[in-house]
Amino acid sequence: MKTELERVAPMDIERRSFEIIASELQHPVDARLAPIILRVIHATADFDFADTLCFSNDALEKGLAAIRDGATIITDTTMAQAGINKRLLAKHGGSARCFVADEDVAEAARRNGTTRSVEAMKKAATLPGKKIFAIGNAPTALVQLYDMMQEGRVQPELVIGVPVGFVNVVQAKELILQTDAPYIVARGRKGGSNVAAAICNALIYLLGRA
């Protein structure tokens, strides 16, 4: 059997990918949220996200408004930070930050018997201005964020809770769903740094077209 390649110009690959995704969806998705859902599927080739991504009623509006106002996007991994389109984000006065590799964060984790992810969230909470938290890897980061929100130490404009894994991943996401904070959460075990970055980029690109 001969393998036939689809001839697609390089500049048309992404457009063609989104056409394929739209044609293979098993059911329609909310038109307002489709740019985010489809971009996550594009980043993962996993159609389960059409069903597992959960959005608070105000998630889209709050996320777009925060980016428009120059919010800082805080990630739990350098991979997610690297995947965010920082050039377009900077046009709105925003930046993407990750503290997990900082020496003071590592020292605090050793001193307190915690993880770098936990201490990175504590450090991020002290930043001035509006903040979006994009957690794609560490459920401990999401739990720490939840605890600080409950204590009134931080008030995120948006929580993107999409860590991947097995230990406390489902529980950490469910905690965020119980809060009043605007959220985009991938229920279940699936997620990842690429998912967190894809959601951030979808919001940035939406704002660019607004």
The predicted-structure confidence for 49-97, as pLDDT tens digits, reads as follows 999 999 999 999 999 999 999 999 999 999 999 999 999 999 999 999 9
Query: What single letter denotes the amino acid at residue 40?
Result: V
C-alpha distances out from residue 166 to 48, 79, 163, 170, Å: 17, 20, 10, 8
Per-residue pLDDT of the chain (210 residues; tens, 9 = 90+): 788 888 878 888 899 999 999 999 999 999 999 999 999 999 999 999 999 999 999 999 999 999 999 999 999 999 999 999 999 999 999 999 999 999 999 999 999 999 999 999 999 999 999 999 999 999 999 999 999 999 999 999 999 999 999 999 999 999 999 999 999 999 999 999 999 999 999 999 999 754
Dump pLDDT digits (tens) for 84-101.
999 999 999 999 999 999
Q: What is the pTM of this model?
A: 0.94
Q: Where are the alpha helices (DSSP H) in 45-161?
A: 49-52, 59-68, 78-83, 86-90, 103-112, 116-125, 139-150
* Strand ranges inside the chain, DSSP E: 53-55, 72-75, 95-97, 131-135, 158-161, 183-186
At 130, is the secondary structure helix, strand, or coil?
coil
Catalytic residue selected from 17, 18, 34, 42: 42
Contact 174, 197 (CB under 8 A): no
All domains of the chain in start order, with CATH: 52-209 (3.40.50.10230)
Task: Give the end-to-end CA distance of the chain in Å, rounded to a whole number.
Answer: 47
**Pairwise CA distance, residues 54 & 32, whole Å:** 13
Distances (CA, A) of 130 to 94, 111, 127, 167: 9, 29, 9, 30
CA distance 157 to 63: 7
- Told to judge if 42 belongs to the known catalytic residues of this protein, a careful annotator would answer yes
